[in-house]
Amino acid sequence: LVRVELVKGRTVEAVNQVLVIMRRAPDAYDFGGVLVTTTVGRVYPLDEHALKHWLGGATQFWRWQKLKNGDSVEVLEDPPVNVAKQLLSLGERRNLKNLNAIITAPTLRLDGSLLSRPGFDAETGLLLEMSGDGIHPVPTHPTGEQVEQALTRLMVPFANFPLVGPVDKGILLAALLTAAVRPVLPTAPAVGFDAPTQGSGKTLLAKCVAVLALGEVPTIWPHTHARDDEEIRKRIMTILMTGARAVIWDNVIGIFDSAALAGALTSQNYSDRILGKTGSANVPNKALWLLTGNNLTLAGDLPRRVLKCRIDPEMDRPFARQFDVDPEAY
């Protein structure tokens, strides 16, 4: 613990001391102007109470207290409310490390170099959270044979998905490669998984792509029938505030048109009001957006910003199929 003395009328001095501590801390970041902490691959925005809890684990506040006999003794204090409020109100003026996303596997930087060292990478704003023992060696200059082997291994769990044609296979491959490098890309199109009937495997296919991006099964967001874009705007902000790297927007019904989602797909950052609070935030958008739907029909700007991958099992009960490989588990 770093000790910080509290002196009446010198709150700013205490705040500046705490900022020095936060700039060195491995788990405190600015996330689009929002103060966050990170743990186990997730981003957690800090409010006043959560920040006081974090401060209690990183600092020890104390003050001198004069006794009746004239002596002074050190008295420990809880993190002061006014210190927490000032830290939250400073926004990007805190000058902490700027976090764009947390990744759990190596990726490529835009210049083609490999980002494989665990910890925070200032060049990309990415935090790689994984043990050094878990890093699979990646050749800097792979041979054609190594590329073929990697592609074969990558496509094993997708062998039994009934992709309609070569364009659909190409879009699936594009989705898989995008999942691996999405955190360094300014923007990326969404991918829509389409089928003629229920039970064809659309959501399973989307989950498998998302698992490669996350290293875990993602949260699935059911489609919402909002009368206007207000509900969708709130949902997008809620999703991005958690630092999500893959989003499954499941079971789109009817004609889907959303100016908010279309705007998010072409924006490096997303700005909106924070739900339940005054003020707004401008958070990084490093998510791979995956949509599913039966006969997926898009309108407005979405058709230009969503690649559609269609599967068709050509049977009445596609959900009854049996596979040799569980693709999600694989």
Q: What is the pLDDT along the chain (330 residues), one digit of tens a residue?
A: 788 888 888 889 999 999 999 999 999 999 988 999 998 778 999 999 999 999 999 999 999 998 888 888 999 999 999 999 999 999 889 999 999 999 988 899 999 888 988 899 999 999 998 866 666 777 888 999 999 999 999 999 999 899 999 999 999 999 999 999 999 999 999 999 999 988 888 999 999 999 988 888 888 999 987 667 888 988 999 899 888 899 999 999 989 999 999 999 999 999 887 665 656 778 999 999 999 999 999 999 999 999 999 999 888 777 777 778 888 888
Whether 37 contacts 52, CB under 8 Å? no
Closest-CA residue to 169 (of 179, 157, 155, 182): 155
Separation between Cα atoms, residue 213 and residue 135, nearest integer Å? 15
pTM of the model: 0.88
CA distance 237 to 261: 11
What are the residues whose beta carbons fall under 8 Å from the beta carbon of 93, sequence distance 6 or more?
none
Residue 293, CA atoms < 13 Å, CB-side half-sphere: 19
What whole-number distance in Å separates Cα of residue 190 and Cα of residue 51? 35
What Cα–Cα distance (Å) separates residue 226 from each residue in 91, 268, 302? 32, 25, 16
Looking at residue 301, the DSSP 8-state letter turns out to be T
Amino acid at position 318, single letter = P
279 to 28, 86, 274: CA distances (angstroms): 21, 15, 7
Residues 6+ apart with CB under 8 A from 5: 14, 61, 62, 63, 64
